[in-house]
Chain A
Amino acid sequence: MIYEQILDILFPVGAILVMLTIFVAMIRALAGPTAPDRVVAINIITTNTLIIITLIARIYEQVYFLDIAMIYALMGFIFTIGVAKYLEKGALD
Chain B
Amino acid sequence: MLETILYILSIVSMIIGLFFLVVAIVGLLRLPDVYNRLHATSKCDTLGAGLVLLSLALQSEMAVAIRLALLILFVLITNPTAAHVIARVAYTTGIKPQIGRSDSND
Contact = CB atoms under 8 A, between A and B. Distances in A.
A40 B86 contact: yes
B41 to A, nearest CB: 5
A88 B63 CA distance: 41
A40 B18 contact: no
A77 B78 CA distance: 7
A91 interface: no
Contacts, number: 133
B7 A3 contact: yes
A40 B38 contact: yes
Is chain A's interface secondary structure helix, strand, loop, or mixed overall? helix
Is chain B's interface secondary structure helix, strand, loop, or mixed overall? helix
B37 interface: yes
A18 B25 CA distance: 10
B53 A6 contact: no
Q: List the 4 closest pairs (A to B, CB-CB), nearest first.
A: A3-B7, A36-B90, A21-B25, A77-B78
Interface of B: 4, 7-8, 10-11, 14-15, 18, 21-22, 24-25, 28-29, 34, 37-38, 41, 45-46, 48-49, 52-53, 56, 59-60, 63-64, 67-68, 70-71, 74-75, 78-79, 81-83, 85-86, 88-90, 92-93, 95, 106
